[in-house]
């Protein structure tokens, strides 16, 4: 049996956890640590995953109120997924420290740049894996997730070179990554292992940098953004600035490829309200600091001008201050 846990299971954590629990070919046990209302709804009626074609009802989930101060779980997870907002990472690690220490692997499933660096002082390097995905989800209401867009999924070892050199257990880590990738494919995510997963992290972050702030400011779904010529121009400028910063940090990015990928993801997730827009609509803090704001911070250190990303960051900060 394979045991999976999801810390901070909102839209994306519930989507992945639900699809994992729906795998028929292997015995998989899935545990979600989520909000009180979400946990109550799932216990009562199971988790509903709504797609364009059907509604899945997932009954075989173990759910826990994330506000429970003392969790009485004393077993290991084979893979423990971190699906919180990035700004909640340190608090989540403090809260779930005992579970993290007992788990075999800690899998980052979050937006943004620099997540690995936040974890490195807190979690053993050999445990850290990362998934990058453009699948989109909306927590419609407690107990129901809408799968609003499909796309790419990649998995990898963030510190591949150093892990390969430093740990005798590298072959075990690679075997476990292969198993995780197989699970992702069985769950329907069409996943691929990527040796340079940090390149994929940058590419996905740049997609978010191009789409999310604009969607949050205009209240438009992803597909509607790319139907507006002026917004497309703004989106492309934000992407180009981010690519320039990445290239100055020796990330092998292509301007044309990143622009094309951003349009592709926006089209594939046409009806999605991106996570930053969802946060604004729900009166919550956004992840602007690890997207456009991160580009601004890095650009300042490199003495590069990123005027579009600076303005987008300031505007989102302004929205947040009024929440």
Q: Which residues are catalytic?
A: 204
DSSP string of 206-227? HHHHHHHHHHHHHT--HHHHTT
Q: Which residue is associated with the tokens 């497309």? A: 232
Do the beta carbons of residue 213 and residue 239 sit within 8 Å? no
Cα radius of gyration (the chain): 19
CA 229 to chain centre: 28
Q: Which residue is associated with the tokens 């509903």? A: 48
In angstroms, the CA 63 to CA 71 distance is 12
- Tell me 249's DSSP state: T
Strand, coil or helix: 33 = strand
Helices (H) and strands (E) in the chain, counts: 14, 12
Burial class (CB in 10 A: 0-12, 13-18, 19+), 219: exposed
Structure tokens, 262: 């951003």
Establish how many alpha carbons lie within 13 A of residue 95's alpha carbon, considering only the half-sphere containing its beta carbon. Answer: 18
Cα–Cα distances (Å) from 16 to 25, 49, 191, in that order, read: 17, 10, 12
In angstroms, the CA 55 to CA 144 distance is 10
Do the beta carbons of residue 169 and residue 126 sit within 8 Å? yes
Q: Where are the beta strands (DSSP E) in 194-323?
A: none
C-alpha torsion sign, points 107, 280, 143, 192:
negative
Structure tokens, 295: 């580009």
Strand, coil or helix: 310 = helix
């Amino acid at each position: 049996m394979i045991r999976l846990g999801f810390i901070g299971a909102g839209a994306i954590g519930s989507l992945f956890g639900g699809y994992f629990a729906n795998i028929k070919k292997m015995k998989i046990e899935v545990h979600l640590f989520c909000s009180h209302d979400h946990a109550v709804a799932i216990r009562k009626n199971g988790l509903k995953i709504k797609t364009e074609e059907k509604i899945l009802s997932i009954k075989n989930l173990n759910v826990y109120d994330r506000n429970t101060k003392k969790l009485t779980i004393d077993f290991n997870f084979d893979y423990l997924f971190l699906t919180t907002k990035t700004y909640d990472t340190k608090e989540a690690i403090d809260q779930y420290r005992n579970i993290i220490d007992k788990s075999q692997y800690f899998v980052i499933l979050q937006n943004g740049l620099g997540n690995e660096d936040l974890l490195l002082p807190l979690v053993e390097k050999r445990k850290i894996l990362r998934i990058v995905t453009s699948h989109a989800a909306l927590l419609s209401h407690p107990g129901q997730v809408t799968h609003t867009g499909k796309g790419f999924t990649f998995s990898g070892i963030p510190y591949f070179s150093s892990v390969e050199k430093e740990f005798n257990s590298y072959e075990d880590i690679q075997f476990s990554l292969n198993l995780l990738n197989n699970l992702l494919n069985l769950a329907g995510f069409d996943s691929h292992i990527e040796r340079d997963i940090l390149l994929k992290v940058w590419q996905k972050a740049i997609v978010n940098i191009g789409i999310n702030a604009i969607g949050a400011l205009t209240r438009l779904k992803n597909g509607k953004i790319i139907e507006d010529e002026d917004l497309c121009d703004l989106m492309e400028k934000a992407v180009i600035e981010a690519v320039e910063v990445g290239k100055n940090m020796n990330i092998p990015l292509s301007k044309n490829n990143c622009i094309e990928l951003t349009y592709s993801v926006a089209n594939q997730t046409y009806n999605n309200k991106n996570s930053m827009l969802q946060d604004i609509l729900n009166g919550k803090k956004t992840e602007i600091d690890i997207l456009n704001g991160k580009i601004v911070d890095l650009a300042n250190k490199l003495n590069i001008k990123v005027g579009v990303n600076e303005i987008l960051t300031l505007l989102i900060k302004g929205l947040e201050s009024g929440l």
